[in-house]
Structure 1
Amino acid sequence: MSSDDLFPDASRAYIEAFQFSSWYPAFSSVSPKATVIRPLSQEFRRYLEDDGVFVPEGADDYPQESTLSDSDSDSEAGDAEPGKSYSFPELDAQIRDVISQYGAVFPKLNWTSPRDASWVVPTLKCKSPADVYLLLKSSDFISHDIDSSLAFEGCVDDEANGQDNGPQNERPPHDLELVLKKWYSMDPSREFRCFVRDKRLLAIVQRDINYYPHLNETDTQEKIKRAAIEFWEQKVRGKFPGGGNYVFDIHMTRDLSSAYILDFNPFHPMTDSLLVTYEELLDLYNSEGLQPHLHTVSSPSHPAAARNAPANQHNAIPYDALQLSSGVDIDSFARQWEEQLKTSQQESDEE
């Protein structure tokens, strides 16, 4: 079976349709509140590409106190590696303004969120520009969004527009955007990924690969299927600007009667198919008249649950190994870290 059968052709224009700023205006009424800051500067791109995890000067909302003497500070500044100092006062101000409106935010770039960096900002809840930058700098995932050769990997020429994008490494760079979503406490057992090909909803798949007994109750499964299908038919079908091939993530309401959209992803190898394979999705696509299938983790011994080690633990590094810029010394970062942990725990308890 060839990959041509498994996936529809993907052009650069098709992938661009999945940038947050491309689809959000059409679905803002059924999505969490969000603000898009674009385009980001080339200097900010260089900051994200630079080695190490460090915070730009002025981004931290905590007092910049240091236990170092003036002579120690001068000595360390003199030994610092050139090119490691960044400052983004305008972006800092924009982020602070959004946080003042939303209370807290969850950041992402054009397509990808830094879910693999939850170890550095608990619950991915950002209350300062420094939190946002630390999440982005600590994430491996967002490298996909920074590098055009990764973002548009596997694309064919955009024949519809008469464009020849050339080899992957010659593709023109794309503008980066910073998305700040209003932070909500979400129940991962109510998150689902829905696969649509040629305007047909093929499957509804549990997004968090852990075993939840209630998701295997017949009545619960019927509610989930009914709500997901109805939501797609009424709120999504025919409205996605990128055409009829897409994958969308939803979060169900507490009573499982409706949903709202978390994200759109391309029907493409870069999108994790979770509990199904793209071969199985192709079989469903070739089977006319079938209702969408619901896939959940059926038992603690399910292969997906059994292999589900702590998420992204490969990306976690010891706290004292973080490289900090001159804008944040180790004592300031320690206070910030402890305060963030306490605040997140208190708010989680309240919610």
Structure 2
Amino acid sequence: MKKEQVANCQFSVWYPIFKKHTIKSLILPLPQNVIEYLLDDGTVVVHGSEDSTQQTQTNTADGEEDQEDIQWSDDETTTTVTAPEFPEFNAKVQEAINLLGGSVFPKLNWSAPQDANWIALNNTLQCQSLRDIFLLLKSSDFIAHDFTQPFHRCSDDSPDPEIGYELVLRKWSELIPGGEFRCFVKENKLIGISQRDYTQHYQHIYKQQDQICSALLDFFQEHVQYKFLDEDFVLDVYRDSWGKVWLIDLNPFGPVTDSLLFTWEELTSGHDLMADQTEQGDVPAFRYTTSEVTVQPSPCLSYRIPRDFVDLSTGEDAYKLIDFLKLQKSQQDESDEEA
């Protein structure tokens, strides 16, 4: 996997090529101050325009002073953390959300914050404001990887390509997990198809495996083959209830992309895939979860534990441990007083 291949899989690179066959989306360049905010571990909450207006009206009505500064106090110091505002960027984002129907699916150049859906009130990546989007982006390790290690596990030593980071807003669509598939393309040939949500068993995949494989192969050969910048890549697609196939995403052909029900050794060598293929030769290997016995927990479950708790349990952050012990002591003192 080369750095150029990773760069070519950025959303803004492939979207213009396959725009007719994917979900309507808008791309907004990320200002530097927004990037810095997303990378900052300190501040989580961001004020949207409506939040600021509501805060001002509440303070005026109550006769209280401005409460936009959040104060954290202990016996030794008082620290003031101001939630930043991005009025111009917020206006552009809200305009884009409105143009896309009022609800969007956010992502950056490569990744969506799928490991952070646990933090959203609706447990999905459906967003209706900049505040919703920032909450997901700041809580996601996948997004942090896009910012800090986009060329991790690349085999070449060439200089990293220059990246202009972007916020991608996709029109919200209810996708049934059983309709999602990952297609592995090597030398412009579709060699393997995997059920995307391999943690579940879907009866319709077993019953319609031939039709599904044929539909995905036809879509690839008609709309994708020889049209992308690279000959090795990974394609995420969705087959809807009418049998129509949609392109969802493109990913690098390499270990940075989850191989799901295959191994990368199989995919790169190609030899072990022959056992899955029929005498027709050009038919890709198609793998899916065959029964309830093979159902597995979601790989994103490990991301549902807040990072602070992980740091506490491993002792990686002494300051968090000190704060935790202070909180425990304070709660104990309160209990003693009540007794």
Q: Per the shorter chain, which TM-score range? A: 0.7 to 0.9
Q: 1:270/1:71 Cα in 2 relative to 1: closer, same or farther (>3 Å)?
A: same
Consecutive unaligned residues in structure 2, runs of 5 or more: 308-339
Quote the residue 2:231 is aligned against: 244
Quote the residue 1:15 is aligned against: 6
Pairwise CA distance, 1:224 = 0.3
Quote the residue 1:284 is aligned against: 270
CA contact (8 A) 1:35 1:98 kept: yes
Quote the residue 1:207 is aligned against: 196
Quote the residue 2:246 is aligned against: 260
Instruction: Determine the C-alpha separation between the residues in 2 that align with 1:73 and 1:16.
Output: 43
Give, as a single letter, the amino acid of the residue that structure 1 aligns with 2:234.
Answer: V
Residues 312-333 of structure 1 deviation map (CA, whole Å, 9 limit, x = unaligned): 3533549xxxxxxxxxxxxxxx
Q: Residue 141 of structure 1: SS of its match in structure 2?
A: helix
Give, as a single letter, the amino acid of the residue that structure 1 aligns with 2:98.
Answer: S
1:153 aligns with 2:149: no
Instruction: Determine the C-alpha separation between the residues in 1 that align with 2:161 and 2:268.
Output: 33
Q: 1:247/1:310 Cα in 2 relative to 1: closer, same or farther (>3 Å)?
A: closer
Pairwise CA distance, 1:191 = 0.2
Identity %: 36
Quote the residue 2:130 is aligned against: 129
Deviates more, 1:53-62 or 1:27-36: 53-62
Q: 1:119/1:69 Cα in 2 relative to 1: closer, same or farther (>3 Å)?
A: farther
CA contact (8 A) 2:72 2:80 kept: no
CA contact (8 A) 1:112 1:142 kept: yes
Q: Residue 191 of structure 2: SS of its match in structure 1?
A: strand
Instruction: Determine the C-alpha separation between the residues in 2 that align with 1:135 and 1:145.
Output: 14
Instruction: Determine the C-alpha separation between the residues in 2 that align with 1:47 and 1:221.
Output: 46
Residues 173-225 of structure 1 deviation map (CA, whole Å, 9 limit, x = unaligned): 622110000001111100000000111111111001211122112xx001100
Instruction: Determine the C-alpha separation between the residues in 2 that align with 1:259 and 1:75.
Output: 49
Quote the residue 1:108 is aligned against: 107
Quote the residue 2:258 is aligned against: 272
Quote the residue 1:334 is aligned against: none
Q: Residue 142 of structure 2: SS of its match in structure 1?
A: coil
CA contact (8 A) 1:199 1:237 kept: yes
Instruction: Determine the C-alpha separation between the residues in 2 that align with 1:266 and 1:27.
Output: 16
Quote the residue 2:143 is aligned against: 142
Quote the residue 2:84 is aligned against: 86
Of the three residues 276, 286, 289, the one matched with 1:294 is 286
Quote the residue 2:327 is aligned against: none
Quote the residue 1:36 is aligned against: 27
Larger Rg: 2
Quote the residue 2:40 is aligned against: 50
Pairwise CA distance, 1:61 = 5.3
CA contact (8 A) 2:27 2:167 kept: yes
Deviates more, 1:124-133 or 1:48-57: 48-57
Instruction: Determine the C-alpha separation between the residues in 2 that align with 1:74 and 1:206.
Output: 47
Residues 210-264 of structure 1 deviation map (CA, whole Å, 9 limit, x = unaligned): 11122112xx0011001000000000001112x10000100102133x3111100
Of the three residues 186, 209, 212, the one matched with 1:224 is 212
Quote the residue 1:324 is aligned against: none
Quote the residue 1:325 is aligned against: none
Q: 1:20/1:285 Cα in 2 relative to 1: closer, same or farther (>3 Å)?
A: farther
Give, as a single letter, the amino acid of the residue that structure 2 aligns with 1:293.
Answer: A
CA contact (8 A) 1:56 1:87 kept: yes
Instruction: Determine the C-alpha separation between the residues in 1 that align with 2:249 and 2:68.
Output: 47
Q: 1:229/1:142 Cα in 2 relative to 1: closer, same or farther (>3 Å)?
A: same
CA contact (8 A) 2:47 2:131 kept: no
Instruction: Determine the C-alpha separation between the residues in 2 that align with 1:59 and 1:110.
Output: 26
Instruction: Determine the C-alpha separation between the residues in 1 that align with 2:69 and 2:129.
Output: 29
1:193 aligns with 2:192: no
Q: 1:83/1:223 Cα in 2 relative to 1: closer, same or farther (>3 Å)?
A: same
Instruction: Determine the C-alpha separation between the residues in 1 that align with 2:239 and 2:213.
Output: 11
| TM-score for both structures, normalised by structure 1 | 0.75
Q: Residue 5 of structure 2: SS of its match in structure 1?
A: helix
Correspondence list, 1:324-339, <5 A: none
Give, as a single letter, the amino acid of the residue that structure 2 aligns with 1:88.
Answer: F
Pairwise CA distance, 1:294 = 1.1
Residues 58-117 of structure 1 deviation map (CA, whole Å, 9 limit, x = unaligned): 355583347998369488559674675322111101111011111210000010000111
Consecutive unaligned residues in structure 1, runs of 5 or more: 1-8, 159-163, 166-170, 319-351
CA contact (8 A) 1:60 1:128 kept: no
Q: How many residues align?
A: 289
